[in-house]
Structure 1
Amino acid sequence: MINEPSFAPKDYGWIEVVCGGMFSGKTEELIRRAKRAHIAGQNVVVVKPAIDKRYSDTEVVSHNETALPSILVDTADQIVLLTSNAKVVCIDEAQFFDERIVDVVNVLANDGKRVIVAGLDMDFEGKPFGPMPYLLAIAEYVTKLHAVCAESGAMANFSQRVVESTEKVLVGEYDSYEPRARHCFRPSIDRRRGRPIRPFTTPKVAPLEEENINIEQS
């Protein structure tokens, strides 16, 4: 379910959190909301932590390559300085910030801004990830998205690490993680069990046979 405000007074701020596991569409949903606000004529600023350079240094990019221009920040406190003129502030990969992000998000919302935050709610061990539990607690609107389990095809909300690394923060994508359902999740590291994700291709369609159609004119 998409829990997003349908109406709110323009002079008030609030916090929206979009969370879930890897490949659940969090960034894509953040981009969708940002684009809608932009179309409505609102000043939108998108930021992401400097550690996340998987796809681009200058854009927020989803796994399906939907993108928006963004600003890289080293610390949460920089967000306040860089978004002073914004009406809508979008923060991607919030789990990579320290606990200061909670105070920053509150400051922005109290200043009358709409704050949209996206991030992983659990790490590769299935434990709450960084500041995300606090952000979920203070948000007016929360959306939890799910992926499809690479092993069983069921609803997936865990991020299974499939490479040999015990680092808390390991920025990766299909090469490092698989979406898993609870009954398929094996913390902390497991071998890859799902099939490689294939790119979308143009479907092959059989050519239509020409038919002679007689049209009777009255």
Structure 2
Amino acid sequence: MFIEPSLAGGRRGWIEVVCGSMFSGKTEELIRRLKRARIANLKVEIFKPVIDTRYDEGSIVSHDENKIISTPIDNSQQILLLAQEVDVIGIDEAQFFDAELPNVCDKLALQGIRVIVAGLDMDYTGKPFGQMPFMLAKADYITKLHAICVCCGNIANYSYRKSAETETLLLGEKDLYEPRCRHCYYEGK
């Protein structure tokens, strides 16, 4: 009798998405969840896009410098090759990955793996960013985090770009971006 891999031993996988604006604590939350999984003696693998070298080439690092070692990859298919016999997979900066990321996450969840994905839900123009809308649609659990607006102190869910650069993909930190509420974001445009 054939037993579906996701049902072997009663283990079922799922997809969690942590999203929000820049400076909302997405990476911090991802790191927190992954460290808790390790404390529970679960095997964890962590991936990030190879283009994200802002803080460290080989680790996921939050804005407050909390970090965890990861594997930089240049496409989501590599996750399937590199993540063998794991319980939990963490993926940071999901908005920078290719169009296969949602399918890769689906395959992993069907194999009984807990997949935790973090990323920006909107780009600096306020539009859905990269693969995040598709990840949100496939997610079993969604956590939307908010920053604090630097202009008025209300909750912020927009990443306001302070420079005149117009390309969608522009890596930066506080030098290029700041969190803003809806009102202050549109007022600054």
| TM-score, structure 2 normalization | 0.93
1:81 maps to 81
- Correspondence 1:35-184 to 2 at 5 A: 35-184=35-184
Measure how far apart 1:164 and its partner are: 1.7
Q: Deviations over 1:60-114 (max 9, x none)?
A: 0000000000000000100111111211000000000121101100011011100
2:5 maps to none
Q: Deviations over 1:146-198 (max 9, x none)?
A: 000010110000000001200110111100000000000038x85xxxxxxxx
Structure 2: runs of 5+ lacking an equivalent: 1-8
Distance 1:111 1:93, change over 3 A: same
Amino acid at match of 1:105: C
Is this contact kept in 2: 1:21–1:157, CA < 8 A?
Answer: yes
Q: Which has the larger radius of gyration?
A: 1
3-state SS of paired residue (2:48): strand
Distance 2:19 2:83 in 1: 22
Distance 1:103 1:119 in 2: 16
- What root-mean-square deviation, in Å, do the aligned CA atoms of Structure 1 and Structure 2 show? 1.3
1:203 maps to none
Amino acid at match of 2:130: G
| TM-score, structure 1 normalization | 0.81
Total equivalences in the alignment: 181
Report which stretch shifted further, 28-37 or 97-106: 97-106
3-state SS of paired residue (1:124): coil
Amino acid at match of 1:174: K
Distance 1:62 1:23 in 2: 9
Percent identical among aligned pairs is 55
Q: Deviations over 1:104-140 (max 9, x none)?
A: 0001101110000000000000000011011001111
Is this contact kept in 2: 1:18–1:144, CA < 8 A?
Answer: yes
Distance 1:75 1:149 in 2: 33
Higher relative contact order (CA closer than 8 Å, sequence separation 6+): 2
3-state SS of paired residue (1:106): helix
Higher helix share: 2
2:6 maps to none
Distance 1:10 1:116, change over 3 A: farther
